[in-house]
Amino acid sequence: MRARALAITGAMASALTLTATGLAAADPAAEISGDGLYLVNIDIRPGTYESAGTPNEQGCWWRRLWKVQTDTDIPKDPNYYIIASDYTRQHPTRVEIKSTDVAFSTENCGTWRMVPPVSTGSFG
């Protein structure tokens, strides 16, 4: 976990350095290629994503996070940083990643692709 947190901290520092120097960083992606932790607005764009899921019976587990946990954070409970999550064997699976989310974590869900949001049919 410490290596992952350091890598994330380094990624954020790199993005800030590029921004401060006037160099453009790569645009955030509209596809999530597999398992991992992705920073919103840095690695991936906010929006509605869909995964076809995986063919095995293990199921898909995703989490929207308001903070990326580090070793020095209190509380130590990783569930404290979750905005929303789901464990499902349902295919396909959809999630709306919001621009206010800090990160998105996915395990055993396969590739996620951005799709148009589903209309609720309501006005306003």
| Coil, strand or helix at 4 | helix
- Residue 31: the pLDDT is 96
Is residue 20's pLDDT more than 70? no
d(CA 85, CA 105): 9
User: pLDDT per residue over 40-98, tens digit each?
Assistant: 999 999 999 999 887 677 889 999 999 998 888 887 887 889 999 999 988 899 999 99
Reference 95, options 57, 67, 61, 120; nearest CA is 61
- Residue 15: the pLDDT is 44
Place of tokens 């959809």: 94
- Residue 124: the pLDDT is 54
Among 6-10, 99-103, 118-122, which is the least confidently predicted range?
6-10
Is residue 39's pLDDT more than 80? yes
